[in-house]
């Protein structure tokens, strides 16, 4: 959406604070021995307390309130009572929701407890790439050039990007134009970011794969060549300077 009046900005700030708070609380609640279903239920309680509605459930009837992906699962993981978190797991939580007609989205990958499998380097690279990306987005900048920046930074860190996943416009629904805000340079994409637009920018940084493919549950995506992936996401308002990071309170850079 494009913000055109103060009430819209207030609405976007409110739902963004809700999803940011929920993501941060879920990260803090996660611990070895609990299931991803327990973690999801905890997030659902928070969203419900705010009067917010799960975006993936409301939009797609996703079988969970948030997406929780563990280890080889890249994204859209279904919360399950059978998936028990363990020390050293690579976990991704993606929280998106709707409140009073406004929608916001954020996500983060992190290592559960001690980094016994060496995932932290990937997580740190993803966080740093998102920060550098947002530092370079403003009205008039080419979308493809931002994708080029993300892939360049990934390669510099020794990683790949997932080419069939990307950020998206958001605001009055979960996915809006501009869509396919990719992590690489699409030379056919001549679009530019527009001032006052609200978009969700997300990294998809991988150790081995370039594409995400579905498994037989109909939701979860894994890598076409295996490996692991880290994702970090903020919903932002584009300005003619640095963007306003609406979900900044999720603390993913702390």
Quote the distance between the C-alpha of residue 184 and its chain's center.
17
Residue 163 lies in a domain: yes
**Residue 254 CB-density burial (10 A; 0-12 exposed, 13-18 middle, 19+ buried):** exposed
User: pLDDT per residue over 161-197, tens digit each?
Assistant: 999 999 999 999 999 999 999 999 999 999 999 999 9
Phi, psi (degrees; rounded to nearest 5) at 198: -110, 125
168 in a known ligand binding site: yes
Q: What pLDDT was estimated at residue 253?
A: 85
Q: What pLDDT was estimated at residue 102?
A: 98
Q: What pLDDT was estimated at residue 211?
A: 98
User: pLDDT per residue over 24-75, tens digit each?
Assistant: 999 999 999 999 999 999 999 999 999 999 999 999 999 999 999 999 999 9
Q: What pLDDT was estimated at residue 33?
A: 97
Q: What pLDDT was estimated at residue 238?
A: 98
CA–CA dist 89, 248 (Å, integer) = 25
76 in a known ligand binding site: yes
175 in a known ligand binding site: yes
CA–CA dist 29, 122 (Å, integer) = 22
Residue 1 lies in a domain: no
User: pLDDT per residue over 72-85, tens digit each?
Assistant: 999 999 999 999 99
202 in a known ligand binding site: yes
What's this model's pTM, rounded to 2 decimal places? 0.96
Residue 53 lies in a domain: yes
CA–CA dist 62, 90 (Å, integer) = 22
Helix ranges restricted to H, 78-142: 120-135
Q: What pLDDT was estimated at residue 73?
A: 97
Q: What's the angle, vertex CA 228, arms to CA 223 and CA 233, rounded to 5?
A: 95
Q: For the chain, give the mean pLDDT.
A: 97
Across the strands, what pairs with 212? 223
Q: State which H helix or E strand residue 75 sits in.
A: strand 73-75
How many residues does this entry show for the chain?
254
Total number of domains in the chain:
1
CA–CA dist 80, 213 (Å, integer) = 20
CA–CA dist 229, 231 (Å, integer) = 7
CATH for 67:
3.90.230.10
Its domain, for residue 226, covers 6-250
The share of the chain scoring above pLDDT 90, in percent, equals 99
Q: What pLDDT was estimated at residue 66?
A: 98
**Residue 194 CB-density burial (10 A; 0-12 exposed, 13-18 middle, 19+ buried):** middle
CA–CA dist 86, 49 (Å, integer) = 28
CA–CA dist 60, 22 (Å, integer) = 20
190 in a known ligand binding site: no
Whether the pLDDT of residue 254 is over 90: the answer is no
CA–CA dist 221, 39 (Å, integer) = 20
């Amino acid at each position: 959406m494009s913000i055109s009046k103060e009430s819209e900005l207030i609405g976007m700030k409110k739902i963004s604070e809700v999803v940011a708070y929920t993501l941060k609380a879920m990260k803090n609640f996660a611990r070895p021995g609990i299931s991803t279903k327990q973690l999801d239920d905890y997030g659902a309680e928070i969203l419900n307390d705010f009067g917010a509605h799960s975006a993936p459930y409301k939009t797609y009837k996703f079988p969970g309130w948030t997406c929780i992906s563990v280890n080889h699962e890249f994204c859209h993981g279904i919360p399950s009572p059978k998936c028990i978190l363990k020390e050293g797991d690579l976990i991704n939580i993606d929280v998106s929701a709707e409140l009073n007609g406004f929608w916001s989205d954020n996500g983060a990958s992190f290592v559960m407890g001690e980094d016994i499998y060496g995932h932290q380097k990937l997580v740190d690279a993803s966080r740093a790439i998102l920060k550098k990306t947002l530092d370079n987005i403003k009205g008039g900048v080419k979308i493809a050039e931002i994708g080029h920046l993300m892939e360049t930074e990934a390669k510099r860190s020794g990683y790949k990007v997932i080419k069939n996943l990307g950020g998206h416009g958001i605001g009055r629904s979960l996915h809006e134009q501009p869509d396919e805000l990719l992590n690489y340079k699409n030379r056919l994409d001549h679009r530019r970011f527009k001032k006052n637009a609200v978009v969700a920018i997300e990294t998809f940084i991988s150790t081995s794969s370039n594409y995400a493919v579905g498994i037989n549950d109909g939701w979860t995506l894994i890598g076409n060549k295996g490996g692991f992936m880290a994702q970090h996401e903020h919903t932002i308002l584009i300005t003619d300077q640095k963007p306003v990071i609406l979900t900044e309170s999720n603390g993913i850079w702390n």
